[in-house]
Structure 1
Amino acid sequence: MTTSNLPGGDHDEAREGGSLRAVLEGAPFQADPHAVLRQLTDSGAAHRCEPDGAPPQLLVTGYEAARQVLTDPRVSKRSERAGLEPGWLMSGVRDEVGVDYMLTVDPPEHTRLRKLVARAFTPQKIDALRPRTKEIASRLADDVLAQETPELVDGFASRVPIAVICELLGVPLGDWDRFRWASEQIVSPVAGGDREEAYVWMSGYLAELIAGKRADPGQDLLSGLVTDTADDRLTDAEMVGMAFLLLIAGYETTANLIGAVLHGLARQPELLKALRADPGLVPTVVEEFLRLDGPVLTATERFATEDMQVGDVPVRRGDMLLVSLAAANRDPARFEEPDSFRPGRSAGHVAFGYGVHYCLGAPLARMEAEVAITTFVRRVEGLTLAVDEADLEWSPGLLMHGVRRLPVSAVLSGHPNDR
């Protein structure tokens, strides 16, 4: 492919791959990643990038190519299986302090870890959390809407999932602010500095928390894991990694999803009106926002363990494979009018991934988003942005996608039952 027609493309310098990397790190991509990804998808299903000092990378944008990479046994989460040093990140740097967890290992290790934790995410367990999630969402919605200019990310979209995941794991909610800081640093596109400090702090905190659960277990998920007596139970290190993953994934992605729907409601007054008239539409609306404006731009890094081909592009052993979930979810070869908001589409998006690493917490994220949005729309008859659309700030980098602040003007419902 060429980059001459891409926003921010370097027309005169560097190799094609270096130019592509510059495009993906440039201001136009951060402002509107979907526009840049669409141009890439239209030019091919996969695109090579060879940044200096890092493994060659392949950005996968086509829907079928994405599903291929996410299920191919020749693709590994472990860079050492591809002949590289361990710990390479999609940012093109090495992670010196990373924690191993379910997302970073292959079967059979992954199969064992997932099986041990999956019992906490059964439909029955998720449904049992629904009443408490509604209580949390109701309190937070009332609090944020009492503000003169409600800010819906920090005041609502972020706080619902962190409260739920902290209760699920048995983490004191009073530590929320520190956890949010650590989570944001860890998913930052740049390693080093605060990122390393966040890794060290969270790992140490979770180790102490797990030791406390072992001495005085409760009814939460971590207590259940530490008191497990099965032969294949988690080691202490694996338990830290698991809690680490669940806290970050359980907060960051769901916060972005709730924020995306709220942003959409502020832009589409007819949608808010429709959801107030029929709350039963909320699940299909959440599902379409997952496809159209999902919380994760790019799946975490994978590595080719042998030569292969993705789309029309040859892949060499040692190449890093980056699957753009956002691009795949708007691939016109799979979705009709992919940039249009059309609730009720047939299933098939890859917002939660695909294959063995399909998001274990997807049912929890869906439930939280549905409860949060249903609770919120009951309280407002009108919702508009309090700033210009162009002034909204978005998460930086290739990994997460979400609005960071969402100040709005809200017209509250005067109906006594809308609480």
Structure 2
Amino acid sequence: MATDTGLTPPPPHVSPERIVPFDIYDLPGSDEDIQLAYRAFQQAAPSIFWTPHNGGHWVATRAEHIEAIQKDTATFSHQRITLPRMPDSVPKQIPLELDPPEHAPYRRPLMQALLPRVVNAMEPAVRARAIELIEPLVARGACEFVDDFAGIFPVSVFLELVNIPQDDRETLRELAERSVRASDNDVRMSSFHDLGAYLAPVVIARRERPGTDLLSAIVTVEIEGKMIPFDKAMSFAMLVMFGGLDTVASMLAFIARFLAIHDDVRRQIAARLDDAAFLRHAIEELLRRHGLANTARVLTRDVELDGVMLKAGEMILPPNMLVGLDERKVSDPTTVDLSRPFPIRHAVFGNGHHTCPGAVLARREIQIFLEEWLGRIPEFRIRPGSRPIAATGMVNGIVKLELEWDGAG
């Protein structure tokens, strides 16, 4: 993973006490616990601070400010969401880099494809896929969780949704990894280029002969009675592909790591897998503790936030995960408390107009993982002598996780 080597001098209006050396791609302590590495800045840094890394940008650390930024798209625009900021010559990532109301027609097919009733209909096949992957692992007594399960299970479900060959999974996963965790814009652009080369003939074919799959639906969206142009269809397809190839896989790895080192929480869940209400509660608490996605914003106007003057054109990062880790909103936030009262406060799937349309499917995949994995492998641990390998970036993740358990022989 590349790290940021150049530092951007602060603008004149940034006071020295607001400058903090925060590098989203290289956070101290992230190998031990990425979420706690973010929380360390939340605890020690000003509520709003400026970092010279990755082009120079603001960071919000308090839940109240993060939620306000997420919901106020008129002031905090999605026009560019990655750090460092992509050049204006680079096409927007549709619909994530569109603000309301322009983004709404693009989101509609995603929302319709992932409604609860649709996910309910998918569940038997999704569950069968999970079982197919877990069963051979039981007797082995060990696995590399990302390569053997997390990088396959949700990705294979997604590829089925978009009708892309399963044989291409590893190639596509590698492209997604470069896109979401590379700090170098050239590296990120190369991943866009490679995915574009892969997708172009597929998108052309789906526009000419649409199927019933999700990819066909998004590349044939009509705006004001006309099919969107090819370039926008490509941008839309690429964004959905990058999202579908990485985020749930990363969340599953975070949860597996946590359960491997917290026997009490793991055993509580394993003992109540048939309690649907309890399991829903446990999933929300695990999500709250393990936020992973980041999307930056661009200031459309000068505005004062918590006594800090932010200028039009500057970028600010409102880390989603810090909402659920802020003790001003969540008591004892670093502890996973399976009896925590509802509602459980977090912003793992975002807030407002850009709330993740895949949230229903993501929760269902986590549920199925817990039910089927803990039903077969209730006791597991991190393999002695190994350490999880984490990666920070626009989407945080665990890229290697060696687990072991007492195999069935």
Q: Which amino acid aligns with 1:125?
A: V
Q: Render the CA deviation track for 1:131-158: whole Å, top value 9, x for unaligned.
A: 1110111111123445453111111012
Q: Render the CA deviation track for 1:20-76: whole Å, top value 9, x for unaligned.
A: 23597344355444444334333566332252793x521111011111111112111
Q: Which residue of 223, 248, 272 maps to 1:278?
A: 272
1:207 aligns with 2:200: yes
Using the alignment, how far apart are the partners of 1:259 and 1:209 within structure 2?
A: 30
**Residue pairs, 1:282-301, within 5 angstroms:** 282-296=279-293, 299-301=294-296
Using the alignment, how far apart are the partners of 2:300 and 2:308 within structure 1?
A: 16
Using the alignment, how far apart are the partners of 1:322 and 1:217 within structure 2?
A: 38
Match of 2:69, SS state, is helix
Contact 2:299 2:313 in 1 (8 A): yes
Q: Render the CA deviation track for 1:329-356: whole Å, top value 9, x for unaligned.
A: 1101000111111125323210111111
Contact 1:17 1:51 in 2 (8 A): no
**Residue pairs, 1:383-402, within 5 angstroms:** 383-388=380-385, 391-397=387-393, 399-402=394-397
Give, in angstroms, the shift of residue 382 of structure 1.
1.5
1:258 aligns with 2:252: yes
Q: Against the structure 1 CA distance between its residues 388 and 24, is the aligned structure 2 distance closer, same or farther, given a 3 Å change threshold?
A: same
**Residue pairs, 1:218-233, within 5 angstroms:** 218-225=211-218, 231=225, 233=227
Contact 1:46 1:310 in 2 (8 A): no
Match of 1:303, SS state, is strand
Give, in angstroms, the shift of residue 89 of structure 1.
3.5
Using the alignment, how far apart are the partners of 2:186 and 2:220 within structure 1?
A: 36
**Residue pairs, 1:45-56, within 5 angstroms:** 46-51=47-52, 54=55, 56=56
Contact 2:54 2:83 in 1 (8 A): no
Match of 1:48, SS state, is strand
Give, in angstroms, the shift of residue 284 of structure 1.
2.0
Give, in angstroms, the shift of residue 402 of structure 1.
2.2
Using the alignment, how far apart are the partners of 2:205 and 2:25 within structure 1?
A: 43
Contact 2:218 2:236 in 1 (8 A): no
Q: Against the structure 1 CA distance between its residues 228 and 353, is the aligned structure 2 distance closer, same or farther, given a 3 Å change threshold?
A: closer
Q: Which amino acid aligns with 2:352?
A: G
Match of 2:21, SS state, is helix
Q: Which amino acid aligns with 1:322?
A: L
Match of 2:182, SS state, is coil
Q: Which amino acid aligns with 2:285?
A: E
Using the alignment, how far apart are the partners of 1:358 and 1:140 within structure 2?
A: 30
Q: Which residue of 317, 322, 334 maps to 2:317?
A: 322
Using the alignment, how far apart are the partners of 1:142 and 1:99 within structure 2?
A: 42
Contact 1:113 1:234 in 2 (8 A): no
Using the alignment, how far apart are the partners of 1:227 and 1:97 within structure 2?
A: 22
Q: Against the structure 1 CA distance between its residues 145 and 334, is the aligned structure 2 distance closer, same or farther, given a 3 Å change threshold?
A: same
Contact 2:298 2:314 in 1 (8 A): yes
Q: What corresponds to 1:269 in structure 2?
A: 263
Using the alignment, how far apart are the partners of 2:130 and 2:353 within structure 1?
A: 32
Q: Against the structure 1 CA distance between its residues 93 and 240, is the aligned structure 2 distance closer, same or farther, given a 3 Å change threshold?
A: closer
Using the alignment, how far apart are the partners of 1:295 and 1:23 within structure 2?
A: 12
Give, in angstroms, the shift of residue 238 of structure 1.
2.6
Using the alignment, how far apart are the partners of 1:406 and 1:29 within structure 2?
A: 14
Match of 2:390, SS state, is coil
Using the alignment, how far apart are the partners of 1:384 and 1:350 within structure 2?
A: 29
Using the alignment, how far apart are the partners of 2:222 and 2:300 within structure 1?
A: 36
Using the alignment, how far apart are the partners of 2:63 and 2:289 within structure 1?
A: 13
Q: Against the structure 1 CA distance between its residues 32 and 229, is the aligned structure 2 distance closer, same or farther, given a 3 Å change threshold?
A: closer
Residue segments in structure 1 that go unaligned for 5+ positions in a row: 1-13, 80-87, 415-419
Match of 1:382, SS state, is coil
Q: What corresponds to 1:68 in structure 2?
A: 68
Q: Aligned-residue CA RMSD in angstroms?
A: 2.7
1:77 aligns with 2:72: no
Q: Which residue of 85, 103, 117 maps to 1:124?
A: 117
Contact 2:35 2:289 in 1 (8 A): no
Contact 1:261 1:286 in 2 (8 A): no
Using the alignment, how far apart are the partners of 1:227 and 1:278 within structure 2?
A: 44
Contact 1:69 1:310 in 2 (8 A): no
Q: Against the structure 1 CA distance between its residues 32 and 222, is the aligned structure 2 distance closer, same or farther, given a 3 Å change threshold?
A: closer
Q: Which amino acid aligns with 1:407?
A: E
Using the alignment, how far apart are the partners of 1:94 and 1:154 within structure 2?
A: 34
Using the alignment, how far apart are the partners of 2:252 and 2:88 within structure 1?
A: 30
Contact 2:50 2:57 in 1 (8 A): yes
Q: Against the structure 1 CA distance between its residues 250 and 22, is the aligned structure 2 distance closer, same or farther, given a 3 Å change threshold?
A: closer
Q: Which residue of 333, 353, 357 maps to 1:356?
A: 353
Q: Render the CA deviation track for 1:266-299: whole Å, top value 9, x for unaligned.
A: 1122333333322133322221111111232xx2
Q: Against the structure 1 CA distance between its residues 319 and 197, is the aligned structure 2 distance closer, same or farther, given a 3 Å change threshold?
A: closer
Using the alignment, how far apart are the partners of 2:228 and 2:339 within structure 1?
A: 40
Give, in angstroms, the shift of residue 313 of structure 1.
2.2
Q: Against the structure 1 CA distance between its residues 382 and 69, is the aligned structure 2 distance closer, same or farther, given a 3 Å change threshold?
A: same
Q: Against the structure 1 CA distance between its residues 23 and 185, is the aligned structure 2 distance closer, same or farther, given a 3 Å change threshold?
A: closer
More deviation in 159-168 or 380-389? Answer: 380-389
Using the alignment, how far apart are the partners of 1:211 and 1:180 within structure 2?
A: 22
More deviation in 336-345 or 32-41? Answer: 32-41
Q: Compute the TM-score of the two structures, normalised by the length of structure 2.
A: 0.86
**Residue pairs, 1:90-129, within 5 angstroms:** 90-91=83-84, 94=87, 97=90, 99-129=92-122
